[in-house]
Structure formats: C-alpha cells, structure tokens
C-alpha cells in the first residue's frame, strides 16, 4: 500500500492554487482537457474496430501500438483534470513516463516497418499485377492451343506483341505517374505526349492538347524567344539540360492564367525524326513560400522578444531589435561574440550542453533560466532553442527566442519516479530474474491468466515461450541496446499457441542500473496463419506455371531457341539464334554459351542461373550478349530444364526474345526517371525546410507579447497572433479596411474622436508608408479600455513592390497612466516654482531698495567727514605735528575711497531697479566711446588695440557701455605691468548666438578662484598691487543677466585673462545672428 500512497501523496498543492481558483481558468482547463481525453479515447476504439474488421491488414500490430500511445496521451490529459483538485503529481508523472515509453517504442517500431510498408504493393499495383497475370495465363492458354494445332509462329508473334505492349504500358505508367509535367513534341512543334500532371498543370485534357502547337502553352510575349531558343538548342547537339538551367520561365494555362515554372529539356531521334521532351515543374507554391518567409523575417525583426541565432561554436550570427532592447547590446556590439557573454559564470556549462543537444538535432522548449544584460543586471528569461539546418538537413546552428519572465514563478522539480503500465496494453513487467511483477488486464485478455495467477511466476515458464534465438543472446542484446524485438511463440492458459510480436525495453534506475524489463506483446497469430496460407497458394500457382512452361519447350520458329546438355554444351540452335548472334550453326554447336558473353554480368549472376536450372527450376531473366562482330544485343531469356526419369535435368532449353530496342528505350527513360527522382527529392527537401522555418516563425508569433497583424494589398488579414486578440479584445475579421476603426473601436488621444481610417498605421503600411501612432482602444474585455502604440511598415516582394503591410503594437496603458501622473506633478511643480519665483523677486526688490537707501544715506556723513578734515588741514595745520597730519590724510583717503564705493553701490542698485531701454545698437560705437573715455589711462603706456567688427544687437546701450567700460578698464589696469599691453575685443558665434569677449595679456588669475570673480567686494589682488572696490564685475554680471545673458572669465596666472558675455534676445524680437567676425582692426596707441 505504501507505493500506492506515494502515488497519491497529498504533500503538494493541487493545480487549482496555481490558477488562483479562478473559475474561468479552472473550467477552461477542465473542459479542454476533458474534450481532448474523450477524443483520444475514441481514436483507439476506432483503430481496434478497424483491425478487427480488416484482419487481412498487414502490420496490424502497429495499429495496436498507436492505440496504446494515443490512449496514454488521453490518460495524461485526464490526470491534468484530476490534479486540479488532487495533487497526485507522482501518479501523473508515472502515467506520462509510461506514455513516453510507449511513444518511444512506437517510434522505434516504425523505423524498420517503413521500408516494409513502402514495399507493399498498392491496390492499383495489385490490380495491375492481377490483370497482367490474367493476361499471361490467357496468353499461355492460347499458346497451348496453338501448340496443339502446330501454330507456333502465330503464338510467338502474339507473345512478342504482348511483351512490347507490356513494355509500353510500363513506360506509359511511369510517365503518367510522374510528379512533374512531361510534354514531348516533334520537329513541327506538334505535341505527341501530354502526361496526367501536364493536364492538371495546364488545365487541359491530353485529348485536346495532342496535335496542338507547343506555343499554345507559352505566353504571347515569350513565343518568339522560345522559337529561337529551341532552334539554337537543336543545333548545339546537346541532348539534355538540367532543371533550372534555363532560368525563370512562364507557362500559360488553358484559362489564360500565367504561372512560373522550371524546365528540363532533352532531345532524341526516333525513326529518323527528332523529338524534344520537356519536364516542367510549377514553382508557384515555392515562390509564395519564399515571399511568406521574407514576410515572416520582417515580422521577426519587428518583434519585441529577443530573437537571435548562433553557430555550433556558440558565436552569435544574427540579432534582432528585440534582443537589443532585452540585453542592452546593439547588433554591432554582439554579432561575432560568444553567446556566453549573456550568461552568468555558473551557467556557462548550460550553454555548452544546449549546443551539444542542438548539434544532435534536439530542441529546447520553454526553458526558464537566468541571463545577464550589458549593464550586469540579471534577468529571468524563457528560452526556446531550435536547430537550424541546411538544405541537406545538417544542423549548422541554433535559433533562440528569449522572453523576459522575471516575474514568473519558479520551475517545479522534475518527476523522477517509475512509470506505471497502461491498463489495457498487452504489457507485462518482470524483474531481472524473469519473475512477473506487473500483469495488466491486456495481458490477462491475451493469455487468460489472472493477475494473481501470473505475478511472481517465471514468465517464460508460465507462457512456455519458444525463442527465435538463444535466450542468453537475447538478454545480452537487451543489455547492450536497452531494447530487443522479435517474434515469440507462447501458450495461453487453455493451451492454445499464440504468436506475438514482442518488444522488450530495459528500464534503469536513477543511477543507470538495470532494474526491470518491460515486455509489450502484440498478437500476430492470425497474420502468421494468413502468411502460411499465402505461401501454400503461391506453391500451387508455381506448379501450374511450371506445367505450362514444360509444354512450351518446342518453340523454334519465331523465338530464339537453343538446347544444351547438362554441361552447358550447345546441341541445337535455330535460325533466329544464328541471325542475331552472326554465328553459323556449325560454329555454335559443340560450343558453350560463353562464346556470347559480353562481360556485362558478374560470375555470381551465371552461378545463380545455373544453380536454378540445375535444381530443376525455370530461370527467367534478361541477358546482355555480344555478337560475332562485337555488337551488343539484349535478350529476354527463359531457361527450362527437361527432367529425366531419375528426377534430374537431362538438358536445358533456352527460349529468347530480342529486346535490344526496348532496353535502349528503357535506358533513356531511366535517365529521365533518375533526373525526375532527383528533382523530386530536392523539392521534398525544400518543402520540408520551408515547413520547418514556417513552424519556427509561427512559434515566434505565438510567443510574442506584442500584437502583430499583417494584411495583403487588398486589406485581408494574413497574420493575427494571439497577443493581438488579447490587446484588442477581438480577433481577425473579414471586413473592409474602411470598417477597421468602427469595428475595433479605435480613437484619438481625446478618447472621443474616432481615429481616421486612412491614418491607421496598417492602412498607411499597405500604401507603402512607415508610421507610428498612439491610439485608444475600447477593449470589450477591459472596462477602462486600452492604450496602444502601433508601428506599421510595408511588406515588399523581391522586386520592391508593396504586397501588403504589417503593424506591431503593444499595450501602453500603464505608460499613459504614468504620463498623466507626471503631468499632474509637473503642473504642481510649476505652480510651486512660480510662487517661489515671486517670493524671490520680492526679496530681491527689497534688497535692491535697501542697498539703494543705505548707499544714498551714507553720502551725507561722508561729505561731512571729508569737509571737516579739509577745514582742520587748512586752519590748524601750523599747530599739528606730523603724526596728526598723517592721520588726517588717512581719514581723507578713506573717505574718498568710501565715496567711490558708495557711488558704485548706487550704480549697482540702479542697474537692478532701472528698466531696460531696448534698441538696435552697434557695439563698435560703444567700444569706441569707452576707448576714448579711458584715453587718459593710456598716457605714457604702449597699448596695442585689436577691435573686431562687432555685430549690431538689441540692448540697452547705456548699460552695455558700462559693461565695456568695466571690462576694458580692468584690462588696462591689470596689464599695466607689461611693457606692451595687448587688448583684444571681438566676438564669436556659439549656437547661432554672438558671444562678446575682452582679452588682455595682463597678470591673469588662477581658475580655482573663478567662482569669486563676480561677487560683490570680491577681489583676487590686494589694493597695494591694483586699486579697486570689487564691485565692477558684479555690475557687469548684473547688467548681462538683466539682458537675459551670462558672463564668465577664463585666465592663467601671468598669461592674461579673457572675459566673455552674451545678451539674450529683446522682447518680441528674434535672435539676431551677428555677422561673421572679420579681420580685426589693429592699431597702436602710445603716449610720451
């Protein structure tokens, strides 16, 4: 009971928890699995009914095996229903393992069966053989009647005519059954052969085509070129050309439809007349498949799932846009790199294992694993890996589809328990000692023993098994191959013998040790009895045929006849023999047939022939002989032994017919048949490759998370993947493109206005345009509706002609909700910024007013201090000592400097309070005014001015003049230590905006103090070195900022300094692009 308890262990959660007990999902799975189970259970019943009604079916055991396999599949789906409420995963896994074992056994059993099944004659072939046999018997009866009346000549003629008709029938059957169209015409271009495939291809019966011109089936625009080509082909002497060497050709059906074809043409002379034969193949389906592949390739490239390929060494060879998005690598970065770049170190062996499996032709489906992005982040992906094969079927690489499943649940552990046996299969399980440990109802039905009677018994003793070979040899083969199959004779409980087709499978435990032997037996007793009856029937027929052959030994008029003794020495030849061999009777009699040996046949061929007739049997076959002049001829020979009284052959009669002409025709036909077979094989391989690619691309479409829809140029949907159903809430509808907006309820961003049909991405794609749009969809399954982003593009054929369109779209509902939230937050932020800006502006205005009032109020005390100091110096100077005078001078100097500082502070405050007077201003005029104003500062100095042609801009000229005055005066002040000062004033264009600069070659400054340059009272030099208040650059920055520009400086110690500033556009004015800087004006100014 313990094994049974483990099979139905309640230690796991039922599948219902995985479905969250959602009634829709639960009943969807239960009803689907129930219907599949019912269908699977019905199929074995039908197969059993068929086998029982048609016991003459060959290989009927294979129907039983298929029945078991399908029954197992149905049981696995039944267990899927059970595990929704009961977590019996071990029992479910055991049933799946048994189903797998039966599936493998069925597949392995089919491999040796296929050649046998192919070798079975079809009903048409059997009927044809019966007709031939009836014809031969009738012919032989007529021959017997003719022999009795000594009319051998007429009988021989009829037999030759029948042989010729048979040969012609065989050739005609081959031509009529060919998969390609075969048409033959004469030198007058009149059709003399038009096979069944040609009738189907051109839609015209042969009776109507024969005698017609071949040009009837060639489009009008190609007929002239066809005539020239056929004429040149006939003149070259070339007898055949392979399929496809003529390039792209077109045929014309009876209904006027043109279609693409491939052709192979040959010519032969028959009876002095030249015949041309062409083999045609309709390649319409192949061209459509190629176009479909190109369309699917475009779809793959537009997929958001990662799809890439690699060779067997793991080097990535292709990389779509979805892979770029998922892994972060661009195509240029990853192609040519090993796929191990995408894996973590601990999973590199996983990649190696997959490559080995792919090289063996295996597939990896729905594998969930971990991969690494370019930025090092790990992500969970679901992989589908399939082998890529070349035209010969050889695996040359692998294609991988990776889908991001980061949020998916962990993979459940694989079940590893033993398999249980299907209840109605004729299967028993025994241990390695041969004792039965499992006996099901199928075995009970076959052998009559109950389970209690069979279990623990030695199976071979219980069933009295008769083996086709020693049991030890069978067991050795079983251990080596894990499998043995053959036929056994066993006994039922009632003593009746039964013949079974037995398949033994060796089961190993998890450590690979043999533990059980599974034996599947199929009753083939009735088949063996039918085979025996057939053998007896054939034996009776052969006796009748031998009697008829013995009665024809005297043919000597029309046939080629020779008689030899038992040693093979010729004792008689007729005139026909002498004519065809070109030897006289005297030259032949007494010789051996080796005189005619052409060397074509092997030694074993003649040994088998002589062994057959020496054993008293008739030998029939075709022999290639050599005549006296060295020419070759073929004969259809029948060698009949005459049996003496002692039961042994006493002489042999050889009856031959000349078949040289037929063999030559067969050789030519065989060449064409071989070419036809090769072309057929190529077509099958091409079709299989296309089917494999189609299946792979279809799996890509089904696994995509994005909706994908394609339509032809008429607006008919040709692709509609499951994701499109889910996103739109509707499937593909056979409606006009003008109705798409209304049917699928598509709206603009306002969610009210219907989206214009002519602007839909798919409609534009059909017109040849690429586009991307966002739209709102009223999904009937989602109350809130769905937002989608759709990208469309045209589908083109090899000639670049638009054949339809494809659109890929994805659900962006969450993104749109995020955008609305961002806009709300931005609105709140802008309101808060406006409030804060107003607060700052009020504080700034109060600060400027305070600065102005303080500066203004300081002027009166300073004037009083300066006035009283002056009075003291004038009135009390004689009474003051030198120290007191020095203190008064210091007070006067401090007062003067304080006055200058107050004036500059007032000027700075005025800048903040003063409204700008915008007007067009030439900057060169301002610079000239400032240079003139500062002329006293240049006396007794060597100064070189470089002033460029500056642009005219909109600004407040008074304030900008103050900017130039402060910057230029600083340049003169800080370059006074130079023997020759160089001051440059110019501009440059940056992003279409003029940037003005003032450059000098003075003492410069360190850039680490650059952040202090424009602060009030900030100075980088002492007053003893250079005078100043530290307000000038602050004023420059205030003026520039008031104009909407900015100011900055660059310098190096002792290398000079450059100050830059820009001015924003005037209100209501466009930015003025200044003229390009011309060569600066350079002149020197020197005094003293």
pLDDT in tens, 763-785: 999 999 999 999 999 988 888 88
Write down how long the chain is. Answer: 1088
Residues 113-129 have a mean pLDDT of 69
User: Among candidates 776, 774, 738, 775, which has minimal Cα distance to 757?
Assistant: 738
Phi/psi for 934 (5° steps) reads: -95, 10
Q: Does residue 829 surpass a pLDDT of 90?
A: no
Q: Band of the pLDDT at 900, cuts 50, 70, 90?
A: low
Mean pLDDT over all residues of the chain?
80
Instruction: Say which residue the tokens 């003291």 belong to.
Output: 872
CA distance 879 to 566: 177
Q: Does residue 1044 surpass a pLDDT of 70?
A: yes
Residue burial 619-632, b: 16+ Cβ < 10 Å; e: rest: beeebbbbeeeeee
Token reading at 481? 């191959």
Token reading at 132? 């031939």
* DSSP H helices in 704-789: 722-728, 740-744, 761-766
User: What whole-number percentage of the chain has pLDDT above 70?
Assistant: 79
Q: Which fold has domain 299-404?
A: Beta-Lactamase (3.30.450)
Map residue 275 onto helix, strand or coil. strand
The CATH architecture of the domain made up of 812-913 is Orthogonal Bundle (1.10)
Report yes or no: 793 and 770 within 8 Å, Cβ to Cβ.
yes
User: Among candidates 342, 231, 811, 1, which has minimal Cα distance to 354?
Assistant: 342
Phi-psi sector, 758: left (phi>0), alpha (psi -120 to 50), beta: alpha
Q: Band of the pLDDT at 1000, cuts 50, 70, 90?
A: very high
pLDDT of residue 61: 74
pLDDT of residue 174: 62
Q: Band of the pLDDT at 872, cuts 50, 70, 90?
A: confident
Q: Does residue 1070 surpass a pLDDT of 60?
A: no
Sign of CA dihedral 228, 231, 237, 240: positive
CA distance 746 to 762: 13
Report yes or no: 315 and 337 within 8 Å, Cβ to Cβ.
yes
Map residue 997 onto helix, strand or coil. strand
Domain boundaries, the chain: 2-118, 165-282, 299-404, 427-523, 554-658, 706-807, 812-913, 914-1086
Q: Which fold has domain 165-282?
A: Beta-Lactamase (3.30.450)
What's the pLDDT tens digit per position in 273-312? 778 888 888 888 777 777 776 676 677 667 778 888 889 8
For the chain, how many helices (H) and strands (E)?
Answer: 31, 34
Map residue 1023 onto helix, strand or coil. coil
User: Among candidates 769, 715, 601, 579, which has minimal Cα distance to 658?
Assistant: 579
Report yes or no: 382 and 367 within 8 Å, Cβ to Cβ.
yes
Q: Enumerate the β-bridge partners of residue 720.
A: 709
DSSP run (H or E) holding 515: strand 514-523
Phi/psi for 930 (5° steps) reads: -65, -45
Q: Do the domains spanning 165-282 and 706-807 agree at the CATH topology level?
A: yes
pLDDT of residue 547: 54
Sign of CA dihedral 768, 769, 772, 778: negative
The highest-level CATH class for domain 914-1086 is alpha beta
pLDDT of residue 171: 61
Q: Enumerate the β-bridge partners of residue 564.
A: 570, 652
User: What whole-number percentage of the chain has pLDDT above 90?
Assistant: 13
* Burial of residue 121, with CB atoms counted within 10 A of its CB: 0-12 exposed, 13-18 middle, 19 or more buried: exposed
Q: Which fold has domain 554-658?
A: Beta-Lactamase (3.30.450)
Sign of CA dihedral 320, 326, 331, 336: negative
CA 545 to chain centre: 62
CA distances from 105 to 111, 443, 519 (A): 10, 18, 11
pLDDT of residue 913: 59
Q: Does residue 916 surpass a pLDDT of 70?
A: yes
Residue 679 CB partners (closer than 8 Å, separation 6+):
180, 243, 264, 279, 281
Residue burial 370-385, b: 16+ Cβ < 10 Å; e: rest: ebbeeeeeeeebbbbb
Considering only residues 463 and 230, tell me which one the structure prediction assigns the higher pLDDT: 463
Q: Band of the pLDDT at 381, cuts 50, 70, 90?
A: confident
**Start-to-end CA span in the chain (Å):** 125
Q: Band of the pLDDT at 1034, cuts 50, 70, 90?
A: confident
pLDDT of residue 844: 65
pLDDT of residue 1023: 61
Residues 80-101 have a mean pLDDT of 86
Q: Does residue 950 surpass a pLDDT of 90?
A: yes
The side-by-side arrangement of strands in the sheet containing 993-1000 is 1047-1051, 1057-1061, 993-1000, 980-990, 942-947, 1081-1086
pLDDT of residue 35: 92
CA 750 to chain centre: 39
pLDDT of residue 757: 92
- CATH assignment of 427-523? 3.30.450.20
Range with the poorest average pLDDT among 173-182, 376-385, 416-425: 416-425
Considering only residues 350 and 152, tell me which one the structure prediction assigns the higher pLDDT: 350
What's the pLDDT tens digit per position in 958-979? 889 889 988 999 899 889 889 8
Q: Does residue 1018 surpass a pLDDT of 80?
A: no
Residue 428 CB partners (closer than 8 Å, separation 6+):
436, 438, 439, 440, 443, 454, 459, 518, 519, 521
Q: Does residue 541 surpass a pLDDT of 80?
A: no
CA distance 303 to 613: 74
Domain 706-807: CATH superfamily, name plus number: PAS domain (3.30.450.20)
Residue 1063 CB partners (closer than 8 Å, separation 6+):
953, 955, 960, 994, 996, 1040, 1043, 1044, 1045
* Burial of residue 808, with CB atoms counted within 10 A of its CB: 0-12 exposed, 13-18 middle, 19 or more buried: buried
Q: Enumerate the β-bridge partners of residue 230.
A: none
CA distance 604 to 988: 103
């Amino acid at each position: 009971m313990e094994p049974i308890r483990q099979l139905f262990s309640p230690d796991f959660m039922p599948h219902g928890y995985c479905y969250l007990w959602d009634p829709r999902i639960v009943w969807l799975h239960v009803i689907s699995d129930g219907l599949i189970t019912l269908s699977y259970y019905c199929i074995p019943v039908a197969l059993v009914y068929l086998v029982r009604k048609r016991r003459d079916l060959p290989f009927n055991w294979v129907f039983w095996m298929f029945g078991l396999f399908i029954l197992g599949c149905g049981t696995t789906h039944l267990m899927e229903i059970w595990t929704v409420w009961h977590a019996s995963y071990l029992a479910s896994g055991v049933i799946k393992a048994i189903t797998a074992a039966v599936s493998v056994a069925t597949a392995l059993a089919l491999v040796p069966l296929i050649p046998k099944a192919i070798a079975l004659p079809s009903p048409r072939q059997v009927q044809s053989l019966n007709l031939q046999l009836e014809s031969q018997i009738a012919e032989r009866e007529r021959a017997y009647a003719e022999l009795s009346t000594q009319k051998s000549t007429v009988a021989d003629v009829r037999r030759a005519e029948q042989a010729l008709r048979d040969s012609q029938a065989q050739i005609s059957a081959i031509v009529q059954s060919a998969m390609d169209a075969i048409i033959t015409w004469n030198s007058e271009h009149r059709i003399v052969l038009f096979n069944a495939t040609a009738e189907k291809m051109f839609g015209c019966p042969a009776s109507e085509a024969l005698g017609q011109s071949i040009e009837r089936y060639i489009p009008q625009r190609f007929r002239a070129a066809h005539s020239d080509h056929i004429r040149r082909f006939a003149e070259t002497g070339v007898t055949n050309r392979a399929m496809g060497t003529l390039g792209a050709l077109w045929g014309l059906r009876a209904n006027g439809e043109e279609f693409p074809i491939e052709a192979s043409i040959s010519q032969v002379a028959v009876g002095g007349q030249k015949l041309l034969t062409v083999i045609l193949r309709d390649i319409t389906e192949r061209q459509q498949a190629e176009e479909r592949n190109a369309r699917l390739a475009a779809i793959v490239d537009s997929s958001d799932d990662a799809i890439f390929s690699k060779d067997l060494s793991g080097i990535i060879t292709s990389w779509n846009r979805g892979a770029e998005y998922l892994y972060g690598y661009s195509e240029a970065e990853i192609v040519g790199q090993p796929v191990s770049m995408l894996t973590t170190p601990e999973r590199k062996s996983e990649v190696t294992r997959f490559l080995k499996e792919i090289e063996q032709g295996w597939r990896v489906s729905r594998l969930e694993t971990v991969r690494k992005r370019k930025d090092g982040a790990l992500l969970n992906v679901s992989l589908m890996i399939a082998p890529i094969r070349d035209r010969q079927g050889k695996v040359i690489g692998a294609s991988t589809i990776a889908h991001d499943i980061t949020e998916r649940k962990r993979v459940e552990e694989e079940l590893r328990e033993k398999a249980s046996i299907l209840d109605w299969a004729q299967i028993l399980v025994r241990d390695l000692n041969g004792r039965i440990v499992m006996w099901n109802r199928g075995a009970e039905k076959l052998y009559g023993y109950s389970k209690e009677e069979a279990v623990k018994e030695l199976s071979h003793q219980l069933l009295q098994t008769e083996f086709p070979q020693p049991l030890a040899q069978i067991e050795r083969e079983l251990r080596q191959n894990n499998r043995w199959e053959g036929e056994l004779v066993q006994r039922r409980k009632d003593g009746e013998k039964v013949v079974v087709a037995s398949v033994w499978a060796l089961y190993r435990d998890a450590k690979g040790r043999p533990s059980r032997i599974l034996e599947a037996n199929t009753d083939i007793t009735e088949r063996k009895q039918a085979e025996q009856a057939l053998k007896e029937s054939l034996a009776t027929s052969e006796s009748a045929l031998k009697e008829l052959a013995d009665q024809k030994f005297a043919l000597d008029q029309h046939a080629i006849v020779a008689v030899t003794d038992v040693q093979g020495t010729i004792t008689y030849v007729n005139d026909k023999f002498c004519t065809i061999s070109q030897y006289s009777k005297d030259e032949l009699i007494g010789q051996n047939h080796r005189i005619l040996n052409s060397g074509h046949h092997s030694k074993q061929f003649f040994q088998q022939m002589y062994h057959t007739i020496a054993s008293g049997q008739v030998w029939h076959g075709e022999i290639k002989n050599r005549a006296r002049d060295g020419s070759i001829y073929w004969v259809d020979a029948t060698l009949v032994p005459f049996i003496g009284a002692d039961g042994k052959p006493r002489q042999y009669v050889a009856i031959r017919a000349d078949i040289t002409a037929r063999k030559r025709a067969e050789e030519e036909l065989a060449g064409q048949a071989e070419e036809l077979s090769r072309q057929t094989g190529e077509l099958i391989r091409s079709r299989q490759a296309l089917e494999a690619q189609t299946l792979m691309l279809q799996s890509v479409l089904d696994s995509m998370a994005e909706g994908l829809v394609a339509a032809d140029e008429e607006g008919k949907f040709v692709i509609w993947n499951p994701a499109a159903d889910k996103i739109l809430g509707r499937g593909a509808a056979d409606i006009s493109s003008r109705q798409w907006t209304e049917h699928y309820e598509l709206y603009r961003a306002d969610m009210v206005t219907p989206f214009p049909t002519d602007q839909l991405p798919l409609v534009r794609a059909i017109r040849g345009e690429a586009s991307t749009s966002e739209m709102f969809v009223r999904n009937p399954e989602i109350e809130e509706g769905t937002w989608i982003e759709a990208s469309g593009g045209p589908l083109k054929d090899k000639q670049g002609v638009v054949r339809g369109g494809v659109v890929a779209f994805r659900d962006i509902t969450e993104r749109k909700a995020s955008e609305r939230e961002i806009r709300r937050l931005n609105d709140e932020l802008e309101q808060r910024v406006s409030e804060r800006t107003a607060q700052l502006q009020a504080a700034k205005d109060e600060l400027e007013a305070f600065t102005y009032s303080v500066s203004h109020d300081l002027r009166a005390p300073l004037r009083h201090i300066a006035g009283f100091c002056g009075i003291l110096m004038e009135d009390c100077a004689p009474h003051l000592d030198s120290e007191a005078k020095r203190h008064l001078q210091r007070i006067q100097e401090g007062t003067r400097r304080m006055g200058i500082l107050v004036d500059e502070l007032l000027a700075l405050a005025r800048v903040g309070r003063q409204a700008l007077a915008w007007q067009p201003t030439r900057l060169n005029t301002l610079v000239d005014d400032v240079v003139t104003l500062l002329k006293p500062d240049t006396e007794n100095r060597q100064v070189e001015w470089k002033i460029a042609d500056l642009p005219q801009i909109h600004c407040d000229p008074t304030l900008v003049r103050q900017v130039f005055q402060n910057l230029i005066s600083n340049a003169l002040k800080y370059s006074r230590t130079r023997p020759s000062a160089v001051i440059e004033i110019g501009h440059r264009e940056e992003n279409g905006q003029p940037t003005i600069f003032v450059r000098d070659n003075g003492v410069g400054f360190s850039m680490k103090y650059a952040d202090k340059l424009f602060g009030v009272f900030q100075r980088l030099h002492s007053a003893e070195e250079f005078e100043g208040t530290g307000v000038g650059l602050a004023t420059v920055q205030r003026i520039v900022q008031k104009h909407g520009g900015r100011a900055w400086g660059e310098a190096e110690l002792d290398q000079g300094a450059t100050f830059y500033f820009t001015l924003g556009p005037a209100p209501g004015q466009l930015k003025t692009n200044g003229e390009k800087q011309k060569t600066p004006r350079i002149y020197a100014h020197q005094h003293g």
